[in-house]
Chain A
Amino acid sequence: MKQKVTNQTRRKMLIGGAAAASTPLWLNVANAQADTIKIGFPTPLTGPFSAEAQDQVKAAELAIKEFNDAGGFNGRKAELLVRDDKLNPGEAATRTLELIEKDKVNFVVGSLSAATQLSINAVCKERKVLFNSISQSDAINEAKDWSVYTFHEALNPTMTAGAVARYSIPRFGKKIVFLTADYAYGHEMVRAFERAGKEMGATTLADIRHPLGASDYSAFLPRIKALNPDILVLCNFGRDLVNAAKQCTDFGLKSSMKIVTPVLLYTSRLAGGPEAFEGIIGGTSYYWGLEDRIPTAKTFNDAFRKMYNGSVPSDYGALGYAGVKSVLAGVKIAKSTDTLKVVTAMENMKYDWYKGPEYYRKCDHQAVQTVIIVESKSKNMKDKYDVFNILTIEPTTEKNMRSCAELGHKA
């Protein structure tokens, strides 16, 4: 008898305990509704792309501020949780997992490298968290890596290298030499440039590969000069591009060939100086000079100038802005922070944050957008930010992208 009572007491205690344990949990859920909307932002704050990464953060903060100033979503404010992925895929995966598990972020936006974005994407895919990538990659569109949670705000090599090829080959000639950084980014750019070039009858004389992070390219240059191509394509990024452009200029290659690059970075041009980049043509997702013809670019630039002492946003910076802006707009349209509802909202969204109309292609969530072809200048610069002439804007079109079927998606 006594035993039974104790058992009953124990049972009561257990039930009470369970209730006690579940009550705060339930309260937590209620609290979370009033909590901030957290956006995890892994990006390489240190390392060779740090200049671009810091600009991404600055512009992303602007998008957060605009959202909060407009009252947020049902009174919920947004918050950016920036983490340094050190340009290392392993580090990026760890930081992303931490953001999801420990910081309980609602969404992830960020990355700046083909390799780290794939590792961030893999983590988000597994944890079913929406990831909007703001760095170039072709692989992320392919069915193998892609998931319904994957969005790609940035351009991809097929679009940007293709646009540069379509602009430069008819104007300068069909004999091409590539100087390529020997990793995913370089290879993808070469493949995309050749793909577009083939339709125009271009031939590759040589694809010279150099190790990532090389500081001296002079040993490759006499051979390039001897090959005498019409176009030299620099398929490298960041400091590699700066060094290669500078040394090609020093060796006088510009007198006999046109130098182009699939991604002509604003920050690289600033770091390399006007002489090194003089006359080099390249593609970009954004240049602040668009403000003369695109009203949203003007609005975006002015807001950025106001927040950061008159400086202008860079190409990758602008992507940080758009990446966050899209996700938060998705929340407002979906009237929820539920991942799948936001995914659906973003899939159906037509938006114009900073560079004209864009939308996400349904099958791979690639942002369909313009590629801007710019030429670096060393004369008639109005101020230190005035570094490019806009030559042309290749319009938004799915024709210049790999088709959904080609990427392995079901139509």
Chain B
Amino acid sequence: MTGLSFELLCMQLLTGVALGSIYALLALGLCLIFGMLNVVNFAHGAFFMVGAFLGVYFLGITGSFWFSLVLTPLLTGGIGLVTERFLVRPLYGRGLDYPLLLTFGLSYVLIEVMRVTFGIEGLPSITPEGLGGTVNVGIGYFPKYRLFLIAATAVVILGVWFFIQKTRYGLIIKAGAADQEIVKVLGVDIAKVWLLVFGLGCAIAGLSGILASPTRSVNPEMGIPILAESFVVTVVGGMGSPVGAVVAGLLVGVVYSMTSLFFPDLAELSIFVLMAVVLLIRPQGLFGKAGAMG
């Protein structure tokens, strides 16, 4: 390995954090839905993909990335609300596999809808005005957009944290996750809470889609590989733990990036090795409660 320097290691770390941001956001949405509803949302990658498509589409129409950044999560969140109300809700009370299969099927429907609407080639991704090019971060030049991506992720995660920890609704969500019977007895319509949480999870997935769109090509199949990676993140962090999702997301990004530097051939494998190691040492995940799956 030639030219291994401190700067290179730092660049690699920063690249990993940028990569991990998207993982963290996606896993956060997955884990909100799982923690609250006990639903493993296999359509999460598809919502990510739909978010990327809608984001690029609205950016093309309106010319404003910021407008698109607000509108897209609202729309994917809306699709999420409809999905929960009419598709997932009738399946509550049955096994874990019912909603899993349903959302798995839904993901293929969404992929096909995008193929029909936008074509199989997808849309060319556009880097928003003012965020193109690179900037000197002291250790070298780094793409401006990826720095923005890290910052945007931090803002979203803080927002979700604030919502859950500091608001009345957050309190109900936390209580519902802990013991839904008590919450029902206290006169809260738990069905509405579930609806809201599912919508929120899908909105975050859509938001990650539009945030990721300037860094890669937008195509109907883009959600499939990233779904598998998000599940790895969720398992590493602990099923149903938002803090775990964020920490594990960044960790997976950094592990992937560092492995790419030394053993590029093993990069793809590295995150699965990480998962296996975590499962062996701490089966409930880094931040999971033991028996959360039960």
Contacts and interface: CB of A to CB of B under 8 A. Distances in A.
B226 interface: yes
Contacts of A273: 124-126
Contact of A51 (B3, B120, B126, B261): B120
Contacts of A226: 2-5, 7-8
A247 B122 contact: no
Interface residues of B, number: 44
Contact of B215 (A219, A220, A228, A250): A250
A51 B121 contact: yes
Contacts of A239: 217, 219
B257 interface: yes
B2 A205 contact: yes
A252 B125 CA distance: 17
Nearest to A53: B120
Interface string A208-247: 1111011110111111011110000000000100110011
**Residue of B121, B226, B265 with most partner-chain A CB within 10 A:** B121
A267 interface: yes
**Residue of A205, A209, A215, A242 with most partner-chain B CB within 10 A:** A215
Nearest to B256: A219
Nearest to B134: A252
A243 to B, nearest CB: 5
Nearest to A274: B124
Contacts of B216: 215-216, 243, 246-247
A226 B139 CA distance: 12
Interface in B243-294: 256-257, 260-261, 264-265, 267-268
Interface in B1-29: 2-5, 7-8, 11-12, 15-16, 18-19
A252 to B, nearest CB: 4
B217 A242 contact: yes
Given A51-B120, A247-B215, A215 B222 contact: yes
A222 B121 contact: no
B120 A223 contact: no
Interface stretch (B101-109, B140-148, B162-170): B140-148
Contact of B11 (A222, A243, A267, A272): A222
Contacts of A46: 120
B143 A251 contact: yes
Contacts of A252: 133-134, 141, 143
Nearest to A239: B217
Given A222-B15, A252-B141, A213 B146 contact: no
Interface string A181-216: 010000000000000000000000100111101111
A325 to B, nearest CB: 26
Contacts of A218: 15, 18-19, 146, 215, 257
A244 to B, nearest CB: 10
B120 to A, nearest CB: 5
B83 interface: no
A219 B12 contact: yes
A178 to B, nearest CB: 11
A48 interface: yes
Given A218-B19, A271-B217, A250 B12 contact: no
B143 A250 contact: yes
A51 B220 CA distance: 13
A211 B267 CA distance: 9
A219 B217 contact: no
A208 B262 CA distance: 11
A182 B268 CA distance: 12
A219 B267 contact: yes
A36 interface: no
Nearest to A219: B260
A210 B264 CA distance: 7
B143 A243 contact: no
Nearest to B226: A215
A221 B15 contact: yes
Contact of B145 (A209, A220, A250, A267): A250
Given A239-B219, A250-B145, A252-B134, 19 more contacts: A48-B219, A210-B264, A211-B268, A213-B225, A216-B19, A216-B215, A218-B15, A218-B19, A218-B215, A223-B8, A223-B12, A226-B5, A228-B3, A250-B143, A250-B146, A252-B141, A252-B143, A271-B217, A272-B124
20 contacts: A51-B120, A205-B2, A209-B265, A211-B267, A215-B226, A218-B18, A219-B256, A219-B257, A220-B260, A222-B140, A226-B4, A226-B5, A227-B2, A243-B217, A247-B215, A247-B216, A267-B121, A270-B124, A272-B124, A273-B124
Interface of B: 2-5, 7-8, 11-12, 15-16, 18-19, 120-122, 124-127, 132-134, 140-143, 145-146, 215-217, 219, 221-222, 225-226, 256-257, 260-261, 264-265, 267-268
Interface of A: 46, 48, 50-51, 182, 205, 208-211, 213-216, 218-223, 225-228, 239, 242-243, 246-247, 250-252, 267, 270-273, 275
